[in-house]
Amino acid sequence: MDRIRIRGGHRLSGEIPISGAKNAALKLMAASILTAEPLILANVPRLADVRAMAELLMSFGVAIQMNLSPHLGEGDTMRLEAKEITSAFASYDMVRKMRASFQVLGPLLARRGEAKVSLPGGCAIGARPVELHLSALQQMGARVDLVDGYVVATAPGGLKGAEIVFPFVSVGATETAMMAASLAKGVTRIVNAAREPEIADLGRCLIAMGAKISGLGSSEIVVEGVERLHGASHRVMPDRIEAGTYAIATAIAGGEVELVGATHETIASLLSLLAKSGADVTDTPRGLKVAMNGSRPRPSDVTTAPYPGFPTDLQAQIMALMTVAEGTSVIREKIFENRFMHVPELARMGADVRIDGDTATVRGVTKLKGAPVMATDLRASVSLVLAGLAAEGETMVGRVYHLDRGFDRLEEKLSRVGADISRVPE
Ligand code: UD1
């Protein structure tokens, strides 16, 4: 299996194009099930997860055509046409590999009145159950049975509008409810909805397809069901996690990088933290610019929270930065249990981190040292790449498939701005 080799100590300079958001693209693709007409998505990122979702959708009978852009900054175009849904079955093998594939459940049920989708099972970053998705669908009139590890859902008479009050915020469950409600009879009110920008992006696409949705971006989303949805074209929003990751890369390696296509407001919590740590952050006509003069970052305390709070998907990366800060930082992970698996790997590079439950205390060291390390999940693996940029000597990151799931041509983007990074075939 390929590995990524980084030789640390190079300042970054230039521009990095930000790709379309993985977490928006996967749900937008699933939304194609809701209509028999073509859905055209632009700015689709080139990722293993996108290919996996395409494969799953094709197994349901969705016809997919890709138009690959020759330019790194442009994103690909995907045409999805679900003229007829020939199967509504998502296997354990599929859902286990990529949890987001569970989110075909709502659209399949809404369009076909039945679906059999595997439970995701345990995953590297905690239990990640799906009871909120299921109870939302049940409240909309679905019958849900759990059989041999599968969710078997039916709604022979169609789904009905309902008042769904989530006991806590879930991105995926909000999206499941919103997609299913688009084709339900009557009005659905989703209370305590998640406010992540990717949900609003999905909502805008559904509206372009003829859905009646209000309250996007707020914690109360109202969906008035329609009989059918139609085809549409939609541009996937820029990936705020990718943008945030490269902002942190610049802060840890030093230098000045323009993140073309990045939107400030979607990562405001990170950017204000970077500014406190000593980085210069400025908005530009094309995105934003991050500069750091090479001095050690100031320490900062961070607690992850639902949007607009600090994203859990940037926790591992900000920890990489804090490992070289001038002082001690306290990082609290409040969204997922078990999301500190990057810590032992960072420790192999000389980081000083102590974990106590959901809290990591990071004592900054003057210098990290390159080492062979192992990626454990998507965001953890990129934190090791960031640490490698700042470390003395060579870092080899193994299990690169984690990176390929969520970061579009990472080594190409980073080497363009002066990092010494390459893919080494095993
Ligand atoms: C999405 C993102 C993921 C991000 C997360 C939080 C995608 C593909 N993934 O994941 O990158 O880290 O949001 O911003 O968009 N929970 C339950 N029961 C449920 C649903 C969730 O207990 O039915 C829990 C989860 O275990 C977790 C918390 O709620 O502790 C938040 O999860 P959720 O917001 O649903 O995350 P995902 O949609 O899976």
Which residue minimizes the CA distance to atom 5 of ligand 1?
Answer: 171
Measured from the CB, is residue 44 less than 6 Å from ligand 1? no
- Mention every residue, 6+ apart, whose C-beta is less than 8 A from residue 357: none
Question: Which atom in ligand 1 lies closest to the alpha carbon of residue 127?
Answer: 26
- For the chain, the first-to-last Cα distance in angstroms comes to 5
The pLDDT score that the predictor gives to residue 294 is: 75
The pLDDT score that the predictor gives to residue 175 is: 98
The pLDDT score that the predictor gives to residue 375 is: 80
Q: Which helix (H) or strand (E) holds 253?
A: helix 240-253
- Mention every residue, 6+ apart, whose C-beta is less than 8 A from residue 174: 166, 190, 193, 194, 199, 221
The pLDDT score that the predictor gives to residue 121 is: 65
Measured from the CB, is residue 170 less than 6 Å from ligand 1? yes
The pLDDT score that the predictor gives to residue 122 is: 53
Residues recognised as catalytic: 123
The pLDDT score that the predictor gives to residue 238 is: 98
The pLDDT score that the predictor gives to residue 126 is: 52
The pLDDT score that the predictor gives to residue 365 is: 98
Is 314 in a helix, a strand, or coil? helix
Distance CA 380, CA 315 (A): 9
State the distance from the centre of ligand 1 to the C-alpha of 312, rounded, in angstroms: 10
Distance CA 224, CA 221 (A): 10
The pLDDT score that the predictor gives to residue 283 is: 98
Distance CA 174, CA 158 (A): 19
DSSP for 6-61 reads EE--PPEEEEEE--B-HHHHHHHHHHGGG-SSEEEEEEE---HHHHHHHHHHHHTT
Distance CA 298, CA 11 (A): 18
Which residue minimizes the CA distance to atom 31 of ligand 1?
Answer: 170
Which residue minimizes the CA distance to atom 35 of ligand 1?
Answer: 170
Per-residue pLDDT of the chain (426 residues; tens, 9 = 90+): 789 999 999 999 999 999 999 999 999 999 999 999 999 999 999 999 999 999 999 999 999 999 999 988 889 999 999 999 999 999 999 898 888 999 999 999 999 999 999 998 655 545 568 999 999 999 999 999 999 989 999 998 899 999 999 999 999 999 999 999 999 999 999 999 999 999 999 999 999 999 999 999 999 999 999 999 999 999 999 999 999 999 999 999 999 999 999 999 999 999 999 999 999 999 999 999 999 987 899 999 999 999 999 999 999 999 999 999 999 999 999 998 878 999 999 999 999 999 999 999 999 999 999 999 998 888 889 999 999 999 999 999 998 888 999 999 999 999 999 999 999 987
Measured from the CB, is residue 103 less than 6 Å from ligand 1? no
Mutate-to-test residue for ligand 1 from 22, 137, 171, 242, highest number of ligand atoms within 8 A of CB: 171
Distance CA 304, CA 309 (A): 6
Q: Over the range 125-145, which residues count as b (16 or more CB within 10 Å of their CB) and which as e?
A: beebebebbbbbbbbbbbebe
